[in-house]
Amino acid sequence: MRKPRDFGAELKALEDKARELKTRKVLQLGELVIATGADQLSTDELAGALVAIAETKDTSKREAWAKRGVMFFESRSRRAAPTPERNRRSAPAQPGSAQSPASGTGSQ
């Protein structure tokens, strides 16, 4: 005889996982702001820049920002201890680390 599924427990586990993923994303975004030096901007300046970037439909600007982001992460990789198979942009960051999978930021 099969044990009945505990939908309440499954839902709670999914909510806990979603909360954990959101917390990790917030930490990674904060780490990215600090790593890029954008933490020197006021909250208003940073929010305004992010809104402008998010609203930008100009693909050439977005591609240029993406290239700058790639260069940023590659330069950080070169400064870190070389490790085979290291890909800082796709590896999940651990809380407390300066690693982030986000890219495509920068201003021009």
Q: What is the tens place of the pLDDT at every residue in 21-65? A: 999 999 999 999 999 999 999 999 999 999 999 999 999 999 999
In this structure, how many other beta carbons lie within 10 angstroms of the beta carbon of residue 100? 25
Quick one: pLDDT at residue 82?
A: 57
Quick one: pLDDT at residue 104?
A: 44
Q: Which residue has the higher pLDDT, 75 or 80?
A: 75
Quick one: pLDDT at residue 107?
A: 45
Quick one: pLDDT at residue 58?
A: 97
In this structure, how many other beta carbons lie within 10 angstroms of the beta carbon of residue 61? 13
pLDDT at 20 over 90: yes
